[in-house]
Structure 1
């Protein structure tokens, strides 16, 4: 099995059905028009690579909440390197200046943040990110909200919690998540260095669209943990294949195999360590998913990664349905 991705072009029929492949491009243009890039990797080889809307392999795309899964990987690297003790370490251990007598808040661990099982005072899927982005100190604001109005251990999706994990990376390593990733993740994967990016505002296009470049940070230099990272479609495929390949890239061990196992372990919430888990018939997948139709879908049984970079749009067509209906039928077993 390939331990890195072989970017050299190979004959498509080796990995995919050529007749069905010819229909894929027209399907994307007609029904999934905001897809800018699609890379399919199988057994370490490129099975398919195509770009749309005048984009190419060097163009970066804001991957939105795919950023969260990258943050998860960085937490694993920090634990493997001894910067963080374990996922059971208390969140407030990293913020000793934050004084509270709230014993409930004191129980919250990194594990709770990774699995989105921290209570917050907002309705499910109605997180007020606009309020967060108006704060001068995002971390204190999140710590104030954390643990309120809910039960610890109950799933509640939160972008703020992912940002707190980014702050924990900075507190434990002395580097921003971006700088830590460039050194310990992106460079070892053969990616270009991700630049820092200072926003002038945090409005719609800053959160989701054309203004996002490099890796955004909050007003205090903390890399945004829940969004704000730009990657090429090939970079997305690299990251997914690192997980499919149990944490190794070439001869380098980047992530421990145990971290990947724990990150993608099946559970009742269908959510791992900032990865979405899915059982569909006899196929188990785990995916990094971002608003607008960005996805890195890992399919272990097929030793396959599907990376899709998309221009942001509201309520895009479901990417798993696209993969299941238009990509999987093309694959040779």
Structure 2
């Protein structure tokens, strides 16, 4: 078995393209990443034993607007940043809205809350965290008492998402709990941003820390992430928490750190941030998505992609926009 430890981050277009057509490009389209004090070691493509031909072709085609809407491309191999390119007005310090790719960060925060003992396990029941709604949940179904955090992480709670209708309400948690069950918990995948917003509230209630404070202490701080924007919801039921279902904005190098953290098995610069068990469990198949039929872990997508005639298993974080105006991480792991 061949093992690849790569982090690929494309912002503004879907990641992990498997082939590039030939196009006019020169070595001037590629620049060695800058050495800064953010913790990233940097190197060249040749030092990483990567053939620069296709990389340079891709960068040239982006510069010539063959692929539009791409803000940045970053590539790390074996823990070293070897490609860092920005396009248009976007630069190293620009914040990029991650859209729903931020859900994978919420997954990590849940894992950390379990590692730290704030939450017992993914099998913890959901409703006991929200006693104020006892007896007042609409569309009541006794099976709602069986919903666990694992169901929210794998989007198998059985609660219909209905995301667009959630935003105008003043209590997103209550809205989510009020939605009818369309399946028994654990039976069927159903994409639900409201469930991920609810997970953020669970972390706060379990730890007594608002999400930015929790992230700063246990995730962003250890990764050296100091600049970000996480919008605060106006939802009464979410108690003014950060919108953990999406909307977090990070700098690309910091987004790539998060990817490298997972490829490192939960460590960054030798410091344990997330348990190795959580990395393995959250990026393993828990169910099958009803969106594209791919495997789904704990707020991670897993796909088998064909590259050079070989199949590569990847786990990926995706944001709204599909082929255009999206955020994607791709972490090829093994073939």
TM-score relative to the length of structure 1: 0.78
Q: Which moved more, 1:281-290 or 1:82-91?
A: 281-290
Conserved 8 A contact 2:122-2:148: yes
Q: Deviations over 1:74-104 (max 9, x none)?
A: 0000000000000000001211122147420
Question: Any residues of structure 2 matched to 1:236-315 within 5 Å, and which?
Answer: 236-269=255-288, 270-280=295-305, 281-291=310-320, 292-301=325-334
Q: Is residue 284–residue 300 contact of structure 1 (8 Å, CA) maintained in 2?
A: yes
Query: Superposed, which structure 2 residues align to 1:63-212 within 5 Å?
Result: 63-100=98-135, 102-121=141-160, 127-145=161-179, 148-153=181-186, 154-194=188-228
TM-fit CA distance, 1:8:
4.4
Q: Distance in 1 between matches of 2:247 and 2:102?
A: 7
Report the RMSD for the aligned CA atoms in angstroms: 2.2
SS at structure 1 position matched to 2:158: coil
258-267 or 63-72: bigger deviation: 258-267
Query: Deviations for 1:12-35, whole angstroms, at most 9, x for unmatched residues?
Result: 222221232221112224333211
CA distance in 2, matches of 1:193, 1:7: 16
TM-score by length of 2: 0.77
Give the secondary structure class of the aligned counterpart of 1:31.
Answer: coil
Q: Secondary structure at the match of 2:329?
A: strand
CA contact (8 A) 1:119 1:152 kept: yes
Please list every run of 5 or more consecutive structure 2 residues that lacks an aligned counterpart in the other structure: 7-37, 289-294
Q: 1:104 to 1:182 in 2, by over 3 A?
A: same
> Which deviates further from its counterpart, 106-115 or 13-22?
13-22
1:42 aligns with 2:77: yes
SS of alignment partner, residue 41 of structure 1: strand
Deviations 1:30-86 (CA, angstroms, capped at 9, x unpaired): 333211111111101012110011211111011000110000000000000000000
SS of alignment partner, residue 331 of structure 2:
strand
Aligned pair count reads 277
What SS does the corresponding residue of 1:169 show, helix, strand or coil? helix
Give the unaligned 5+ runs of structure 1: 122-126, 195-212, 303-333
Alpha-carbon distance change, 301 to 184 in structure 1, aligned in 2, over 3 angstroms: same
- Structure 1 segments of 4+ aligned residues over 6 angstroms from their partners: none
Aligned to 1:214: 230
Q: Secondary structure at the match of 2:92?
A: coil
| 8 Å Cα contact 1:216/1:228 also seen in 2 | no
Q: In 1, Cα distance between the equivalents of 2:132 and 2:41?
A: 52
Q: Quick one: which of 228, 241, 249 aligns to 2:247?
A: 228
Match of 1:209 in 2: none
Q: Could you say what secondary structure the match of 1:40 adopts?
A: strand
- 2:242, 2:41 → 1: CA distance? 34
